[in-house]
Chains A and B, each alone.
Chain A
Amino acid sequence: MLTLDRVSKVYKVGTFGGKDLPAVRGVSFEMGPGEVVSLIGESGSGKTTVGKMILRLISVTTGRISIDGTDIATLGGDGLRAYYRTVQGVFQDPFSSFNPMYKADHVLGMMRRQYFSGLADADWLAKVEASLQAVNLDPGQTLHKYPHQLSGGQLQRLLVARALLLDIRYLVADEIISMLDASTRIDVLNLLGELRERGLGILFITHDLSLGNYISDRTVILRRGNVVEMGATAKVFGNPLHPYSRMLIAAAPQLHRKWAAVAAELGAGGGPRPEGCLFHRLYPPDRPAGADGERPTLARAEDDHFVGCVRLDGEGACS
């Protein structure tokens, strides 16, 4: 189980780090094996920062990320290597993920040097071919090529194949299909579906609601570093509780509707709206804090469906 517990990231900016720039504020969720969690948010909402914190590429300012109870901030050396054996990532831009100085299979070579240095050439070759076949890549067409000689879809699948060389249990997929065209997009999505069947937990970071809806079991919606709504995908999409989620879902392009019609509807108030802030109806501002002195940032609206305050800082009254 991969658990995020009130994880925050604050960047120091300005002269001598005099100003704080919060990127992620008190994000908590957890992800089990075989589960696809989609992390949805607009640009700058902090979704990539969350992914990089899970991959330990960025340090956590406050809060804690743990895997099976072990805080990943404490890992180092062999512990970190063991962590990377179970958790891997694939990034948004396949062209930037490959060092242009090397052939594309350099990413596989690095894997071998770090994790499979004792393996004989033939065994390694068999392992590489198996994992390439798992992502529908032809070894003959992809190995010994420079990144600029391969297509974006091939590169992106090569990165997934790289992650599959290890017996990973969790994959952080950061916008992995936003750079692909529609036909390759479905291939990669189906690949993720297959991986889920094999028991892989996937954190699917995206700004595309329909993709999130298509693939995920649970959904976390981020806005300006705060979780505004979270829960089972069917519940979040079927009955969005937070005004931001409603707006987001209403504004998603639909095949049979023109944007002008949607905009008119949104402008007219977007249909019936709940009175005030649901979060503070469930957690009144005067209600004392929990046992650990922390106020929750999300209120439980129904089973596996949580909502945040309408105001983003989550403090005080808001209606």
Chain B
Amino acid sequence: MNDPERISSAVPVGAAAPDRAPIQPAAPAPAPRPGEPAAASGRAEAVGRRREILYFALRDRKVLVGLGILIVFVAAAVVGPLIRPGDPDAFVGPMAAAPSREWWFGTTTFGQDVFAQFVYGVGSTFLVGLFGGGLAALIGMTVGFVAGYRGGVVDEILNMLTNVVLVIPTLALLLIAAAYLTARGVLVEAVFIGLTSWPWAARAIRAQTFSLNTREFVDLARLTGVPSWRVIFGEIAPNMGSYLFMTFILLFGGAILIAATLDFIGLGPTSGSSLGMMMYNAVAWSALQLGMWWWFIPPGLGITAIVGALYVMNVGLDEIFNPRLRKM
């Protein structure tokens, strides 16, 4: 699920995007106003760049499609529980009913409402993805940037730490943790996933930072007296903006899949429901053999659509972050 080789070879920094948008609206770059100061101050420049990214982002078809799918799912997670209030695991309907006007996604073998489970599950899936993937991305980026920028002894220590965490058997660790934590919520699961899945991201970012660190514009920034943290976040990080976003996307998707795995072996949250647990229940109660497609298709499609939408967005964002890939 998180394969460093595949990830690091997918989009090397500075390389062309895997594929480009076939049609770009022939909109010109936001023209600077004639009276605007020639070299604006740092803050104004950052604001201008943000506005420019937004300008191109809202005109990129891939970004719009990905964003649209995500918004639909987020809306389902927010609005769904309002439509079907109450416990999503309650036995409310007929048993094993196919989708109908009353039960949109049908019901389980026990008469639970699949739609209610689905919208709750999407919510907790986003939660695990955001917190787990977010925490992993935060740790991975911090460790990767510091190790790659500082080099030397700092790099050796951080690299050793990364390798140690990389070889820790996550499952065994979780078995032990589960023995101590009797009540586990979705957030505890997310934190656990975040703390164990960052090493490959740190290694990939460290390698990219190393390579960018030798570029002359980094030297030029140092020569201007720019402090280290600003060299990292102002000069180095923007050059791997789409890569960082993809790291987050893959950690996000990875966290969702790890959560599904943990749910499957009974180490998932002791309260709440998730898409992974729905799929597990569907398989456990032979939904496939009984032809109850409405039980396992929605959660499977949900996970695929969320991760896929993030990936499509990433390809589009590559063109937006890197001005050289834009069609002007």
B291 within 8 A of A: no
* Residue contact A97 to B225, C-beta cutoff 8 Å: no
Chain A residues whose C-beta falls within 8 Å of the C-beta of B4 in the assembled complex: none
Per-position binary interface string of chain A over residues 103-129, scored 1 when its CB falls under 8 Å from any chain B CB and 0 otherwise: 001111111111101000110110011
Report the minimum CB–CB distance from A294 to chain B (whole Å). 29
Binds A, one of B37-45, B80-88, B96-104, B268-276: B37-45
* Complex Cα gap A88–B224 (Å): 8
Q: Shortest beta-carbon distance, B285 to chain A, in Å?
A: 52
Closest to B153 in A: A17
Residues of chain A within 8 A (CB-CB) of B226 are 110, 113-114
Q: How far is the CB of A173 from chain B (nearest CB, A)?
A: 13
A111 nearest CB neighbor, chain B only: B224
Contacts A101-B323, A148-B323 aside, 19 further interface pairs with beta carbons under 8 A come to A84-B225, A89-B223, A93-B216, A100-B14, A100-B322, A100-B324, A101-B239, A107-B224, A108-B38, A108-B39, A109-B40, A109-B45, A110-B42, A114-B224, A124-B37, A128-B38, A139-B38, A143-B39, A146-B323
Say whether, besides A97-B217, A109-B40, A144 and B222 are in contact (CB < 8 Å).
Answer: no
Q: Which of A72-107 contact B (CB under 8 A)?
A: 80-81, 84, 88-89, 91-93, 96-102, 105-107
Name the 5 nearest CB pairs between A and B, nearest first: A113-B42, A108-B39, A101-B238, A121-B37, A105-B39
Residues of chain B lying within 8 A (CB to CB) of residue A128: 38-39
- Using CB atoms, name the residue of chain A closest to B227: A114
Cβ–Cβ < 8 Å partners of B294 in chain A: none
Can you show 6 pairs from A to B with CB atoms below 8 A apart? A55-B223, A81-B225, A88-B223, A101-B239, A110-B226, A115-B225
CB distance from B231 to the nearest CB of A (A): 10
We find that the number of chain B residues with CB closer than 8 angstroms to chain A is: 29
Are A97 and B220 also in contact (CB < 8 A) when A102-B49, A110-B226, A114-B226 are? yes
Tally the A-B contacts, defined by beta carbons under 8 Å. 97
- The answer on a CB contact under 8 Å between A99 and B217 is yes
Map CB proximity to A onto B312-328 as digits: 1 under 8 Å, 0 otherwise: 00000000011110000
Flag if A125 contacts B37 (CB, 8 Å). yes
| Closest-CB distance, A178 to chain B (whole angstroms) | 14
Q: Would you call the interface of chain A mostly helix, strand, loop, or mixed?
A: helix
For B44, the closest partner residue in chain A by CB is A109
A151 CB, min distance to chain B CBs, angstroms: 16
Which residues of B are at the interface with A, using a C-beta cutoff of 8 A? 14, 32, 37-42, 45, 49, 215-217, 219-226, 235, 238-239, 241, 321-324
- Most-contacted residue by chain B among A92, A99, A105 (CB, 10 A): A99
Which residue of the partner chain, among A57, A105, A129, contacts B222 with CB atoms under 8 Å? A57
Can you name the residue of chain A whose Cβ is closest to the Cβ of B224? A110
Enumerate chain B residues within 8 angstroms of A92, measured Cβ to Cβ: 216
Contact residues in B for A122 (Cβ distance below 8 Å): 37
CB of A52 within 8 Å of the partner chain: yes
Q: Is the CB of A148 within 8 A of B215?
A: no
Name the contact of A112 in the complex, choosing from B39, B215, B219 (C-beta under 8 A): B39
Q: On chain A, which size bracket covers the interface?
A: 35 or more
Contact surface of A with B, Cβ cutoff 8 Å: 52, 55, 57, 80-81, 84, 88-89, 91-93, 96-102, 105-115, 117, 121-122, 124-125, 128-129, 139, 143-144, 146, 148, 159
CA distance A199 to B42 in the complex (A): 31
Q: With A and B bound together, what is the CA distance between A139 and B226 in angstroms?
A: 25
**Which residues of B sit under 8 angstroms from A125, Cβ to Cβ?**
37-39
Contacting pair A114 B239 (CB below 8 A): no
Contact present for A98 and B225 (CB under 8 Å):
no
Minimal beta-carbon separation of B233 from chain A (angstroms) = 12
Which of B40, B239, B241 is packed against the most chain A CB atoms within 10 Å? B40
Residues A105 and B38 in contact in the complex (CB < 8 Å), given A91-B219, A99-B239, A100-B323? yes
In this complex, which of B45, B220, B239, B324 has the most chain A Cβ atoms within 10 angstroms of its Cβ?
A: B220
Residues of A within 8 A of B217 (CB): 96-99, 107
Q: How far is the CA of A107 from the CA of B219 in the complex (A)?
A: 12
Task: Write the nearest CB–CB distance from B257 to chain A, whole angstroms.
Answer: 32
Q: Separation in Å of the A154 CB from the closest CB of chain B? A: 15
Q: B235: which of A57, A99, A113 is its contact (CB, 8 Å)?
A: A99
